[in-house]
Amino acid sequence: MPNIITADELRAVLGVSDSLFNDAYLDQIIESAEITILPMLTQYQSAVVATTIKDDVLFIDTLRPNFFVEGQGVVLAGIGNGLDGPYTVSNHSVRPFQVTAVVDEADRITTPCIPAGTITLDGGSAAEIYASVPAVKTAILIVSTEIFQSVTAPGGQIEGVDFAPTPYRMGRSLQNRVIGLISAFYDVDSICQ
């Protein structure tokens, strides 16, 4: 389910009716745009690369230093092994790449998360932080429009304003077209990840 813009807002930008493209179809396009834009923004989240359980303590190893503190509510996602869900930080390890939470689980050896999962401050996801930021909303609308046009254009080729075909609109430059809008919110630590 989209978080920043609605199917009706995208439909208004595209100038299409709901009889041609229903909400479910447009929601899928918006979600794809959000998956493209939101991970680039600063948020209270770290990638989780491994977990270990020892003596009812869940050790969460992150890809980069994290700044979670004791007592904060966090949400694990994409971890697997039945560990996805909310937790309360019990301690921040001396190691800047590890945080712990109390669990009632049997001991487990270190288990890598492939692909990496996430640990997010409860209420601190990019979708929640940037829900009312016009620049982020506009960036997601632009990317949604690009995705829609790429999917619906004959032969998958969009024409530019000069009527020249532009076959690589969905390439690596897609994010670069909106970087000016979101540059104030860009997570510079994530560039190397």
User: Does residue 1 belong to any structural domain of this protein?
Assistant: no
Between 70 and 160, the higher pLDDT residue = 70
Q: Does residue 113 share a domain with residue 86?
A: yes
* Domain membership flag for residue 192: no
Beta strands 85-92 and 158-159, pairing class: unpaired
Would you say residue 193 lies in a domain? Answer: no
For residues 161 and 166, what is the distance between their CA atoms, to the nearest angstrom?
10
Residue 153 clears pLDDT 80, i.e. is over it: no
pLDDT tens track for 100-131: 999 999 999 999 999 999 999 998 888 888 99
Candidate ranges 2-6, 17-21, 100-104, 154-158; pick with highest mean pLDDT: 100-104
Judged by DSSP in three states, 119 sits in strand
Whole-number Å distance between alpha carbons of 75 and 127: 14
- Final residue of a structural domain among 121, 140, 167: 121
Does any domain span residue 2?
no
What's the total number of domains in the chain?
2
Examine the pLDDT at 28 and tell me if it is beyond 60: yes
**Are 116 and 50 contained in the same domain?**
yes
CA gap 31, 140 in Å, rounded: 9
Domain of residue 109, residue span:
45-121
Single pTM value for the model: 0.72
CATH number of the CATH domain containing 71: 2.40.30.20
16 and 78 part of one domain = no
* Same-domain status, 11 and 51: no
DSSP 41: B
Burial 76-85 (b: 16+ CB within 10 A, else e): beebeeebee
Whether 160 maps to a domain, the answer reads: yes
Q: What span, in angstroms and rounded, lies between the C-alpha atoms of 101 and 174?
A: 38
